[in-house]
Amino acid sequence: MAKKFVIILLVFAFLAGLALFTKAEPKDTSSKIKVVSTTAMIAELVSQIAQEKVQSEFLIKGDIDPHSYELVKGDQAKLKSAAVIFYQGLGLEHGASLVSYLKAESKALAIGEVVRQKHPELLIYHDGYLDPHIWLDLNLWEKLVLPITEKLVEISPENKEFFEKNALELTQNMQRLDVSIQSLLQDIPENKRYLVTAHSAFSYFTRRYISHEGSWQNRCIAPEGLAPEAQISLYDIEKVVAFIGAHGVQVIFSESNVSKDAMHKILDVCKKTGLQVKLASAPLFGDALFNEKGYLDMMWHNATLLHQAWHEESIPTQD
């Protein structure tokens, strides 16, 4: 009886040990490449090209300002474990801790520099400072698909055909949307296509989709510079109000990740000077993705919001 009891105990111990071993056995993730991007826009390109072949993460989430982002707890662990780090460059990520880490890390690739090297004439400068917001021009952002694909192929050559097939499909989708946005916004009468936004993020968008070639500089303005600032001068406000009055602007646009304070100040001054101006029904998305949706959705949202606001006789309002 005692022997039988011992055997039963041994069987239970074996089964328990087997269950514990099975439960503790980690999932095999060795086939996935870990890629970390600084922004959601870059991560979107990576995910579209590599899909299930990679474990894709990004640092700057939600409506956080990418210009001044500093490393937070857990970021360095993510970056160290990545096979490759993609970042914008062109002066976008200028938070001291982040930019110093990226410049010192050999596996970090500034994909925006591809445009600077191959197409320097396409870049825009404001008062001597390079405008990094190239993702707001599909034609420019498409040029980053190739260097991302080449880097992924370098790391995982066995997936070369898969990456290149997806990259081609992504490029074609971007080209189709580029044409659609141009067509949509050129449908608006030229005298209505003047863009007032919260900060100077939409120059590339204006040049590509709103203006005729050579006149885009006179079609967009913002009270804040390339990176949103805490304080805005009275001169900045007055300059925007003068622009509104000169071009008969009836609607101005806030941005999802920028305070509306400056826009409300502009509205107050406009009201005092007799200008009839309202705030659009929803914000534009410049430095952040559209409600966690993809990059292409963000671009189409911006285009359709502008089209609606400029097209309607009754301007939609926003609290």
Judge whether 105 and 85 are in contact, CB under 8 Å: yes
Taking the CB of residue 239, how many other CB atoms lie within 10 A of it? 14
42-93 confidence digits (pLDDT tens):
999 999 999 999 999 999 887 788 888 899 998 899 999 999 999 999 999 9
Q: Is the pLDDT of residue 229 over 90?
A: no
CB of 110 within 8 A of CB of 134? no
315 pLDDT above the threshold of 70 = no
Q: What is the rounded CA–CA span in Å between residue 33 and residue 267? A: 49
What is the pTM assigned to this prediction?
0.84
| Average pLDDT value for residue range 253-279 | 90
Q: Is the pLDDT of residue 299 over 90?
A: yes
Q: What is the pLDDT of residue 32?
A: 83
What's the token pair of residue 21?
Answer: 């071993």
The confidence score (pLDDT) of residue 296 equals: 93
The pLDDT, as a whole number, for residue 5 is 39
Tell me the per-residue pLDDT of 31-45, one tens digit each, with 9 for 90 and over: 688 999 999 999 999
Ranges 185-194, 203-212, 215-224, 281-290: which has the least confidence:
281-290
Domains of the chain, CATH where assigned = 33-173 (3.40.50.1980), 187-311 (3.40.50.1980)
Which of these ranges, 70-79, 107-116, 146-155, 224-233, has the smallest mean pLDDT? Answer: 224-233
Nearest-angstrom CA–CA distance, 140 and 137? 5
pLDDT bin (cut points 50, 70, 90) of residue 231 is: low
Query: What's the whole-number mean pLDDT along residues 129-136?
Result: 94
Q: Which residue has the tokens 């190239």?
A: 134
